[in-house]
Structure 1
Amino acid sequence: MLQKIAACFTGKISRWVTLAVWIAAAVLLTLTLPAASDKVQNNADNLADSAQSIAAAAVLEQYFPNSSGVPALLVWQREGGLEEDDFRVMQSLAEQLTNEPLPALEAILPLHMLPPAALQAMTSEDGSTLILPISFTQETETEILKENLLAIKQNVNELAQTDVFAAQVDQGLIARFTGPVGISVDAADLFLDADIALLIATVLLVLVLLLFIYRSPLLAIIPLIGVGFAYLVTSPILGWMASQGMIAIDSQSISIMTVLLFGAGTDYCLFLITRYRDELMHERSTTAALMQAFKGASGAIAMSGFTVVIALLVLLLAQYGSSHRFAIPFSLSILIMGLASLTLVPAILAIFGRASFYPFVPRTDEMEQERAAKRSKPVQPRKEQHRRWKRIGAFVTEKPWTVIVSSIVILFALGLAALQTEYKYDLLSSFPDDLESRQGFAIIGEKFSEGELAPITVATTADAATIREMLSEHELIHHASDITASEVDARYSSFELILNIDPYSNEAMDVIAVLDKQLEQEAGAGNYWIAGQTAQQYDAQQVQTRDNMVIMPVVIALIVLLLLAYLRSIIATFYLVVTVLLSFAASLGLGWIILHNLLGYDAIQAAIPLYAFVFLIALGEDYNIFMISSIWKKAKTMPLKQAIKEGVGQTGEVISSAGLILAGTFFVLCQMPLTILVQFGVITGIGVLLDTFIVRPFLVPAITQVCGKWAFWPSKQQTQAERKQESFKQM
């Protein structure tokens, strides 16, 4: 059946039809549907409306409409003290925006109506810094916020007659936008043109690695053609889904999807190409060789792709928006890439035939003799295929316990380092130090309380004065604002709590948990609400913890079921899953060692373990499936020990090549401006390398050797010796 399927894509006519269909699909979809990058929505909600902080924001918007906007904090500073002309610039800006408000601008502090003494009182203790809050309406698009900030910057520079946003501390008056709006706009700007740079860097890396590994220019391009067509088909489909409101796409998911397509997609192509090259060594007919290669590799490719798709779809169970948004783009891209590797790539290989491998064209012994005879040259002895990896296979089967113990010790030791990992939940810490919003935040933290950047707002229908006094006693609360009564409903009152620590820190989130307990005791459930960036971050922490506890077990369970269905072996399924989990823990540990001790990160983003887990578990089982499939097939015709040796030898080269390329594409994320992508790229890339060069060629084959025939249990597969003995009894 597989050969008949292969014939549908590799025949003399069908190969061209297959290529034409992919070209037509790519062109038609690209011309008629929007690209995924055109429908990016970087301000999509990460928390559900039922989250405490989101519900609190809704209460503020309903009962305190004048204080429910999203603030941009315009920080002004002059070393040595702000001058009269500086205050005049600020007052002119406030008057201008009050009289001619920009779109979505909700409120601005009326500095132009305040006397000089009041302005001086608003500055820092040394008189060098002042914060001007500018509030925008909730749910304003990031692009509109960006346009507003650019308009304000232009007005400020005209009033100051210099570019105060480019000026440095020692150059007179400077200004910086920070706060939730400034952070949101900077986050969007970080990805401007970054996707194109990422795509170019990924393509060049894959091309260079393929040229280095296979030394065949055309062969290096063929996988990229397959991946390119998959990308051209995937992007408009995702763009259309986003335009219909079916999914939301952010820049982060597009970046990782690009890497995933080129990394995993190239792997699938190499599984087929390597098998095709081996078949060409024994088969004169390129068509027959391609059909045999398809027969031998398609099952593993399809199973590998299906495993990754299923694992990524589990992210739909995530309640945290960013994780949930990953599910469809990632799984759809792998699904389409799997189809391309089983249809388009075989068609291209059929078109080029042996020329795909030029100048190192694989030929049969007979063809080599004929070629040598025409040139009147002696036949050069052919090197044994996969010699290096067969030697590794022999070593593993001869000393399996040595391999098992040493591998587990290494992985376990690295896994222990993961216990030391520190996590962060804020976006600001993932920004480069020289970004405007981070500079503004640093100024506020130095000259004021850091909590001024993101106050905690408490709304209540209970005794606000008593609650305010009680909460103000917390050691990490710098001060509390005056109580504001609702003009909509007199039962509601609100006030702000200003922390004396970074409001985005883990310690600040712990404060939210304490405040919540105190409010529940004093006001009673349903009579209080906690809003603000710190409260949202606390909710994000709770949701992400829940997602980890739900998604990780579900992914493991699904992969166990898939492996059981494919291998029909409980024992093999068990140790294949356990080894991948051990590799994942080791990658977290080694990743933390590198990120913390070599790259200087004091913590990693809390979402990374879940992302890395889903990718490494799914992609790790890819290599498991490919290698175990080879061992299982060979064990039908030879002793298990020999089958392991041959299986490691046959798959070692392609798995190591694929692993290098996949890890390399993840490491490309290190060039991205957001540290969450840098950290994800480092940890996932390390995990792929550990899988490729420790788990797959050493640990898994060694365990298989030790298990012996029990590796197949409860399958009825017999070793060659058992089959001979059974046959002898029947005689």
Structure 2
Amino acid sequence: MELFDGGTKRRLPHLVGPKLSWLVVLVAVVFSGIALSAPITAEESDDGVANVPSSSESRQAAQVRDELGGSEVVPAIVVVDRAGDKLTDADRATVEGLVTDLQAYAVEGSKVFQQYSDDGAAAIIGVPLSGTASNDELVETVGQMRTELTQKAEGLRTQVTGGPAFTVDLAGVFDGADTRLLMVTALVVAALLLLTYRSPWLWLVPLAVVGVADRVAVTVVAVGTKVLPFTTDGASVGIASVLVFGAGTNYALLLIARYREELRRHENRYDAMKVAVDRAAPAILASSGTVVLALLCLGFAQSPSSRNIGLGGALGIVTAVVYALLVLPAAMTVPGRRLFWPFVPRAGQEVSERSGLWWRVAGAVTRRPVVTIVAALVFLAVLMVPLTGLRSGLSQTEQFRATPESVTGQETLGEHFPAGSSQPTIVVVANDRLAQATSAVEKIDGVRSVQPATQGDGRSVLNVVLDSAPASDAAFATITEIRSQLDDIDGQALVGGTDAEALDADRIAERDRWLIIPLVLLVVLAVLLILLRSLVAAVVLVLTVVATYAAAMGAGWVAFEQWFGFPALDLIVPLMAFLFLVALGVDYNIFLTTRAKEEAEQSPDDVARGPISVALAVTGGVITSAGVLLAAVFAVLGVLPLITLTQIGVIVGFGVLLDTLLVRSVLVPGLVTLLGRWFWWPGHLSRKPVGKSEDRA
């Protein structure tokens, strides 16, 4: 428990000194260089945004189909139309020519096929591609097909859709995304650090340390995929990078603020940094520990994408805090006080803690705690109201902010053919139940056709085409009815395919929320109990961050529905937003209340109003800067054209601002003042004699 003590005992090794600081920086440079040049690549997910584990019924159905040879080929679907007009005889001749030309892309031994719509306004061409082709091979093949179709369509509109095309377009979303995300994030952080410190070079030190930590974290995560049960994908890599930059810079801001404060008390800069580390480390370790433990809770999720984000993000945060507490102190002390020019802190400078903007805010809040608490809660409650209309679940065609060809092709196909034509539902039944199962499925409302696919090992695979739009409520209802009917015919029957996977993902996301959210709350509560030694404080702070999450979700849903035009939240967004807002949002409460506890320990007769006022006054500036910076970093996720990441970025970014500017600066100080010494119950501060200053609170 000594690690979280608010006293001045040394808890971490002090790797600073006239020679030691240089040595630490040199070792860090060498180690980072080795890590960055290490020939280690992460294990990557085969699915760009896999939300369904291999144990789900839909994945088991796909596995059986693969074992029976049903996945040796996967069709790329070319949709040909004249934008609503009927195809002419010349158009049909062009289609026949395209069929011949596209045969060159088909797997050996398979045949390209074509089909015309009943309304005569469109045709589809199915091009069987290799089911074992890599993503790079599919990108090349589909790209060549699109180029050739554009050249030979002779005025017709051609769009390539189907499974291979979606894979290619999803890969395109993340093509160069790492570099783009890193550059934009670095520019945002640099600009905000420059504004925060108003120094032409001070910002370079934390930016360099955090930037190197981010690149080293990539190698650490790659090593982690070799020994831990997770892989990486575009979403997890992007979120891990944002976490390292956002959290790492937050920790740097807190440490540097405390270092600058101590430079006004100590002549020797190394002594100042030692005290700064001693004072700041407990809050930083508690904060980072909370985030890491919360992320590790995702290891219990069934969704592969959630596990990828959780384990990868945890390793990234560990890397960030190591660089913040071991490398940054040494790097800051090497250049000396002149690093802060033109606002150089000098020993003996008088800096009153009872002045400035945040002291005035603290005074206004603590003088009328009930009014400020009620006003803050009403504002949060208003933001929560839109949650009553929130919808979740995006189909495959709704994943992209910019509409790629695979999506527009699917939409065109749905106008002229059964919507499920490009990616049929898979049904696996025993051979002796095949006829009965086929008859039962054909009679279900919403089923357009049932065709036999492959047989083997006593089982048969059927391809079922649905009338409903992919991942719609109607499609889910049809899948549920198919499963219900088959349960009575063959208890071992399996139903898979795109719609079945989407339905399984929906159920898994709900299961993960019910499991992970309580775990995260318990983790945060436990860390706060250890840190503050107060049950009341821990519960109050947890409730405030939960309220922040609900308000951010409500406000975010209004933005998505009214301004962005998004049809729903992606399935993993509510859980990811909760985890990040609760784990990261409690950071600022930790920074504030640990300082308040430190002030209360030194106060002779006041454990509430005075200490929380001083804590807000001295931490207000740095925490506000940290919150604005973290919100901006999460907003950078919007540079990627994937709706999931945009939604996470907007909700978390707004939630962090809400937590920083309202909850931490108004609601929490008001609650501390109103509760008085009971805020620290049952810790020793709750039993401390109370003088007049607290009576006035």
- Determine if the TM-score, normalized by the shorter chain, exceeds 0.5: yes
- Cα gap change, 1:3 to 1:560, in 2 (>3 Å): closer
Shift of the alpha carbon at 1:429? 0.4
Cα separation, 2, equivalents of 1:513 and 1:136 = 30
1:557 aligned residue: 522
Shift of the alpha carbon at 1:537? 1.1
2:494 aligned residue: 529
Q: Is the 1:669–1:677 contact (alpha carbons within 8 Å) kept by the matching residues of 2?
A: yes
1:305 matched to 2:288? The reply is yes
1:495 aligned residue: 462
Q: Is the 2:385–2:554 contact (alpha carbons within 8 Å) kept by the matching residues of 1?
A: yes
Shift of the alpha carbon at 1:581? 0.6
1:656 matched to 2:624? The reply is yes
Q: Is the 1:464–1:483 contact (alpha carbons within 8 Å) kept by the matching residues of 2?
A: no
2:100 aligned residue: 92
1:375 aligned residue: none
Amino acid at match of 1:699: L
1:372 aligned residue: none
Shift of the alpha carbon at 1:392? 1.0
2:58 aligned residue: 53
Cα separation, 1, equivalents of 2:50 and 2:277 = 44
1:389 aligned residue: 358
Residue from 162, 185, 198 that aligns with 1:215? 198
- Equivalences, count: 679
Residue from 75, 82, 89 that aligns with 2:79? 75
Task: Out of 348-357 and 200-209, give the one that drifted further.
Answer: 348-357
Instruction: Provide the secondary structure at the position in 2 that maps to 1:352.
Output: coil
2:446 aligned residue: 476
Cα separation, 2, equivalents of 1:245 and 1:41 = 17
1:31 matched to 2:37? The reply is yes
- Cα gap change, 1:438 to 1:212, in 2 (>3 Å): same
Shift of the alpha carbon at 1:244? 6.7
Shift of the alpha carbon at 1:134? 3.0
Q: Is the 2:220–2:316 contact (alpha carbons within 8 Å) kept by the matching residues of 1?
A: no
1:643 matched to 2:611? The reply is yes
Shift of the alpha carbon at 1:314? 0.9
Shift of the alpha carbon at 1:163? 6.2
Shift of the alpha carbon at 1:583? 0.6
Instruction: Provide the secondary structure at the position in 2 that maps to 1:453.
Output: coil
Cα separation, 2, equivalents of 1:205 and 1:468 = 58
Shift of the alpha carbon at 1:316? 0.7
Q: What does 1:439-450 correspond to in 2, within 5 Å?
A: 439-450=408-419
Show CA shifts across 1:550-594 (max 9, x none): 111111111111111111111111111111111111110000011
1:594 matched to 2:559? The reply is yes
Cα separation, 2, equivalents of 1:138 and 1:323 = 26
Cα separation, 2, equivalents of 1:679 and 1:323 = 15
Amino acid at match of 1:530: V
- Cα gap change, 1:482 to 1:286, in 2 (>3 Å): closer
Q: What does 1:606-625 correspond to in 2, within 5 Å?
A: 606-625=571-590
CA RMSD of aligned residues (A): 2.6
Q: Is the 1:635–1:719 contact (alpha carbons within 8 Å) kept by the matching residues of 2?
A: no
Shift of the alpha carbon at 1:542? 1.4
Shift of the alpha carbon at 1:487? 4.5
Instruction: Provide the secondary structure at the position in 1 that maps to 2:14.
Output: helix
1:360 aligned residue: 343
2:121 aligned residue: 128
Instruction: Provide the secondary structure at the position in 2 that maps to 1:530.
Output: strand
Q: What does 1:75-474 correspond to in 2, within 5 Å?
A: 75-79=79-83, 80-81=86-87, 83-97=91-105, 101=108, 108-111=110-113, 122-138=115-131, 140-153=133-146, 156-157=148-149, 162=151, 172-242=155-225, 247-365=230-348, 387-461=356-430, 463-474=433-444
Amino acid at match of 2:582: I
Q: Is the 2:41–2:222 contact (alpha carbons within 8 Å) kept by the matching residues of 1?
A: yes
- Cα gap change, 1:357 to 1:716, in 2 (>3 Å): same
Q: Is the 1:176–1:437 contact (alpha carbons within 8 Å) kept by the matching residues of 2?
A: yes
Cα separation, 1, equivalents of 2:52 and 2:181 = 29
Cα separation, 1, equivalents of 2:10 and 2:353 = 32
Shift of the alpha carbon at 1:40? 6.9
- Cα gap change, 1:97 to 1:594, in 2 (>3 Å): closer
Q: Is the 2:427–2:494 contact (alpha carbons within 8 Å) kept by the matching residues of 1?
A: yes
- Cα gap change, 1:56 to 1:718, in 2 (>3 Å): closer
Q: Is the 1:627–1:647 contact (alpha carbons within 8 Å) kept by the matching residues of 2?
A: yes
Shift of the alpha carbon at 1:219? 2.2
Amino acid at match of 2:95: F
Shift of the alpha carbon at 1:203? 0.8
Amino acid at match of 2:536: I
1:371 aligned residue: none
- Cα gap change, 1:85 to 1:291, in 2 (>3 Å): same
Shift of the alpha carbon at 1:529? 1.8
Amino acid at match of 1:499: L
Q: Is the 1:15–1:348 contact (alpha carbons within 8 Å) kept by the matching residues of 2?
A: yes
2:641 aligned residue: 673
Cα separation, 1, equivalents of 2:46 and 2:57 = 23
1:19 aligned residue: 25
Q: Is the 2:122–2:416 contact (alpha carbons within 8 Å) kept by the matching residues of 1?
A: yes
Q: Is the 2:678–2:686 contact (alpha carbons within 8 Å) kept by the matching residues of 1?
A: no
Q: Which runs of no fewer than 5 residues in structure 2 stay unpaired?
A: none
Amino acid at match of 2:491: A
- Cα gap change, 1:139 to 1:591, in 2 (>3 Å): farther
Instruction: Provide the secondary structure at the position in 1 that maps to 2:463.
Output: strand
Identity %: 31
Shift of the alpha carbon at 1:494? 4.2
Q: Which runs of no fewer than 5 residues in structure 1 stay unpaired?
A: 102-106, 112-118, 165-170, 369-381, 726-731
Show CA shifts across 1:677-731 (max 9, x none): 1111101101111110111111111111111111111111257744999xxxxxx
Shift of the alpha carbon at 1:42? 4.8
Cα separation, 1, equivalents of 2:446 and 2:396 = 22
Cα separation, 1, equivalents of 2:540 and 2:301 = 27
Shift of the alpha carbon at 1:12? 0.7
Structure number, greater radius of gyration: 1
TM-score, reference length from structure 1: 0.87
- Cα gap change, 1:108 to 1:435, in 2 (>3 Å): farther
Shift of the alpha carbon at 1:291? 2.0
